[in-house]
Chain A
Amino acid sequence: MDRKFGRFLLIGLPYFWLLVLFLVPFGIVFKISLSDVAIAIPPYTPTFDLSAGWEGLKSLISGLDFENYIWLTEDDIYWKSYLSSLRIAGISTILTLLVGYPLAYSMAKAPSEWRPTLLMLIILPFWTSFLIRVYAWIGILKTEGLLNQLLMFVGVVDEPLQILNTDTAVYIGIVYSYLPFMVLPLYSALEKLDGSLLEAAQDLGCTSIEAFWKVTFPLSMPGVIAGSFLVFIPAIGEFVIPDLLGGSDTKMIGKTLWAEFFSNRDWPVASAVAVLLLLLLIIPIVLFQNQQERAQEAEK
């Protein structure tokens, strides 16, 4: 009896957290997304009146509708920022992969006594707040910032480049911030790779480069996919980086969401945007889960 209860607790606890921390807030946001904007506190209507009891709930439900979702399809700013988010997240993921792969590869090839230190260095930036590190990039990228000073000093450019407040700065910010999420799964895939496989490939007629493309790269695919999802998924909803580093024409759904909430104080529309963003993210997350399961199967 006691043991049963213990087991129930053990299994039930994570579900309880999920309920409290995810499903309930989501329910609230979803409800708000079906409401209408109002000049009140909170700024939407209808609100749930506990004292009215059953009648109150009925009147609440009758006051809800999908107006805000229809609105999202009518104003093109929303779907344009969705698409733009996807594009920026996609391009940044590819860039992160291009930067992260050689890094992870050289870490995996490094003498084994160096590897813990190298891993440490990859994780080190997490010791400083994300926000502060993104602010630091402003200092580097701005017109009179470090990067431009360096470029002008070396003589690559005569005029300072406008990097800050462009999409380029957003890419730099995302690649920088999410690099560890790409490098770690890649490293763990590459580190497992059996060196004799490469020798076998060379023995059968491959140059080192061919052996890389025919053996190393395909075998690191689980790492590539895991890393890409780990960058792509949070990058879609990214707000801080495009807000601080991007320009006024950098459209990302996170920024739009923020503007709806705080500039327009239109909570219902903002909630609708958030719900759609979540639905949008569910697709890659499910794909990611599937891939992880398959990778685990294959390892058995």
Chain B
Amino acid sequence: MNISPAKKPSTKFLPWEDPKQEPLVRFGNVTKRFGSFTAIDNVSLDIYEKEFFALLGPSGCGKTTMMRMLAGFETPSEGTISLGDDDIGSVPPYKRPVNMMFQSYALFPHMSVEANVAFGLKQDKWPKNLIKERVEEMLSLVQLEQFAKRKPHQLSGGQRQRVALARSLAKKPKLLLLDEPLGALDKKLREQTQFELMDIQEKLGMTFVIVTHDQEEAMTVASRIAVMDHGKIIQVATPEVIYEYPNCRYVADFIGDVNVIEGRLNSRTDSGIKLSWAEGQNDISISNNTERSADENACFAIRPEKVHVTHEEPLDADNRIQGEIHDIAYTGNLSTYYVKLSNGIIFKAQESNRRRLANREFTWEDKVWLSWRNTAGILLD
């Protein structure tokens, strides 16, 4: 797929496209059962060195279980997990070059911030002066030097989270696991910390795996995202591919907002394929279709922000449908228009509010035209 990367070109980094690259972590047909319940269902997955890999999915889909298998707290019921060249399926947690930042932070309440960060180093019998140095380095990395002597209960939530990060980074693990690390933070602090995490990851050149159910967070930080559902991995791709080219309705629905129209593919032309979807409505033309043949049922999916709303019929648009504004959701920077089509379907279109609310062009029950280019949407099964 040829789409331009969303991240800075200087950070262009695509080891998964290079067949010669060996993955750092490899899940080979891993299944994990708890009693008769299958939490992870035959998952195969490669994670490469220096990746910032995100596991995304609804609650209970098995994200934490994947992490716990990587950390060594659970052993797979079937299949293998390898780290570098070693099969680590049954290596106990304390022997793995993997550290985890816990969802609850799990800071030792009876130890100072300093002692918490030094814990793993002491355990590895580092010499005293090196431990001291490393602890200072880590605390300055997370900007907590002046809190070194405090106990965890004397810190704010955000500061604790930084201590937990510093502690898990101190041993320079080959692989760092972050289980919803920013869950307890407010939105502002969370966004700021996301960037700090990315900086730290780049600076230290480590591999991070992050669990989150916040899709924006995953899109922001991750080099690749795995979308999970019911113990299966549905799609693994870069954030931009996941967003622009979801491979199924589930992924399209899970990440962001989407309009889905069911219909039947009818004619194929040089410029693409046409989907008929309702009596008396123009067919939808799609040019960036996959290799679909005519006479098939299909779904057309398009993101609301790719749909324009106008009063006048946009004669030059590739696709246009008329409807009536049913509802408007105002979220400050954006307005989402819920437009009812002639056949009763509600179609979402999003416009940014370049004008003040009082000067808004559209209001309830206006007749409007929706239009989009024939490359804006995609076909799904």
Contact = CB atoms under 8 A, between A and B. Distances in A.
A207 interface: yes
Contacts of B171: 204-205
A200 interface: yes
A197 B111 CA distance: 12
A132 B53 CA distance: 67
Chain A CB within 10 A, most for which of B104, B106, B108, B110: B106
Nearest to A204: B120
B119 interface: yes
B92 interface: yes
Contact of A197 (B98, B108, B123): B108
B184 to A, nearest CB: 14
Interface string A188-228: 00000010110111111111001000110011000000000
Contacts of A206: 94, 123
Nearest to B103: A196
Contacts of B120: 204-205
A137 B318 CA distance: 96
Contact of A203 (B94, B109, B110): B94
A72 to B, nearest CB: 43
Nearest to A299: B153
Contacts of B368: none
A218 B110 CA distance: 7
Interface in B105-130: 106-110, 119-120, 123-124
B99 interface: yes
Interface residues of B, number: 25
Contacts of A300: 153
B119 A199 contact: no
Given A205-B124, A206-B123, A200 B94 contact: no
A262 B171 CA distance: 70
Contact of B94 (A194, A196, A205, A218): A205
B116 to A, nearest CB: 9
- For chain A, the bracket of interface size reads 10 to 19
B119 A219 contact: no
A197 B106 contact: yes
B73 A199 contact: yes
Chain A CB within 10 A, most for which of B99, B103, B123: B123
B245 interface: no
Given A196-B104, A197-B108, A210-B123, A203 B99 contact: yes
B102 A199 contact: yes
Given A199-B93, A218-B110, A204 B167 contact: yes
B108 A215 contact: yes
Nearest to A200: B106
Given A204-B123, A210-B123, A219 B109 contact: yes
B104 A201 contact: no
Given A199-B73, A199-B93, A205 B106 contact: no
B172 to A, nearest CB: 12
Given A194-B104, A215-B108, 11 more contacts: A194-B106, A197-B109, A201-B108, A203-B71, A203-B94, A204-B99, A204-B120, A204-B123, A204-B171, A205-B171, A300-B153
Q: Which 4 A-B pairs have the closest CB atoms?
A: A204-B120, A205-B123, A200-B106, A196-B106
17 contacts: A199-B71, A199-B100, A200-B102, A200-B107, A201-B119, A202-B93, A203-B71, A203-B72, A204-B99, A204-B167, A204-B171, A205-B124, A206-B94, A210-B123, A214-B119, A218-B110, A300-B153
Interface of A: 194, 196-197, 199-207, 210, 214-215, 218-219, 298, 300
Interface of B: 71-73, 92-94, 98-100, 102-104, 106-110, 119-120, 123-124, 153, 167-168, 171
